[in-house]
């Protein structure tokens, strides 16, 4: 059986939604949790569209809220698969908000969701291979490989302490202004 290859463009999904007062937090800005929910939905849609399978969220790379979103703005989320593993896909998401009255658009957030394709029995399912068709897609793919290497390095760094409390205390007291007073 030959491998199935698909272009990133086959996974593109766009979602636009008007931000309502019910989506806001106490300061009148759109609640970050609501935005994360929309991002998870579009990541699912993009990954499922690409793989042809049900997908689950495995991880979310760094989420920085760059600009607040106001009630009454039109939020547009754009997503596409930018990297594939065996059963995993990294979906890149860009969030923009548009002031409907002025037409001004601002970039509010970019993030990367790792989605896992599942078969009908709930087991991990192989996903199509990726065809990169532009320099931008190649750069996104390479940047994702770098983020994955950093994630693995971070996991190894954290594993160094692996329950060694004395080593952990020595490290944090040397690097930060903190006192440790364990009961």
0.75 exceeded by pTM: yes
Query: Do 10 and 73 reside in the same domain of the chain?
Result: yes
Residues 81 and 139 in one domain: no
Do 47 and 11 form a contact (C-beta atoms < 8 A)?
yes
Please, which residues have CB within 8 angstroms of residue 100's CB and are 6 or more apart in sequence? Answer: 72, 73, 74
Backbone angles phi, psi at 51, to 5 degrees: -85, -25
Q: Which structural domain range is residue 161 located in?
A: 134-183
Same domain, 148 and 90: no
- Tell me the mean pLDDT in the region 22-50: 96
Q: When comparing pLDDT for 60 and 1, which is higher?
A: 60
Per the structure, the count of domains in the chain is 2
Q: What is the CATH number of the domain that holds 92?
A: 3.10.129.10
Q: Are residues 125 and 138 in the same domain?
A: no
Q: Please report the pLDDT score of residue 161 as a whole number.
A: 63
Q: How far is CA 92 from the centre of its chain?
A: 6
Which tens digit of pLDDT belongs to each residue from 122-173?
999 999 999 999 999 999 999 999 998 998 887 777 766 666 788 888 888 8
Whether residue 95 contacts residue 110, with contact meaning beta carbons closer than 8 Å, is answered with yes
Same domain, 63 and 152: no
Reading the block at residue 8, the tokens are 């990133």
């Amino acid at each position: 059986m030959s491998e199935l290859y698909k272009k990133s463009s086959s996974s593109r999904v766009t979602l636009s939604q008007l931000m309502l007062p019910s989506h806001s937090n106490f300061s009148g800005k759109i609640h970050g949790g609501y935005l994360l929910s929309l991002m998870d939905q579009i990541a699912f849609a993009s990954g499922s569209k690409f793989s042809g399978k049900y997908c689950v969220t495995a991880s979310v790379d760094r989420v920085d809220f760059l600009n607040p979103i106001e009630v009454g703005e039109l939020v547009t989320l754009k997503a596409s698969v930018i990297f594939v593993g065996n059963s995993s896909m990294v979906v890149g998401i860009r969030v923009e908000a548009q002031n409907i009255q002025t037409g001004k658009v601002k970039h509010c957030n970019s993030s990367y969701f790792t989605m896992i394709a599942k078969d009908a029995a709930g087991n991990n399912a192989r996903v199509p291979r990726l065809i990169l068709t532009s320099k931008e897609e190649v750069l996104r793919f390479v940047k994702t490989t770098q983020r994955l290497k950093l994630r693995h390095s971070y996991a190894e760094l954290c594993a160094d302490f692996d329950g060694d409390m004395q080593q952990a205390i020595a490290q944090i007291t040397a690097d930060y202004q903190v006192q440790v007073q364990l009961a």
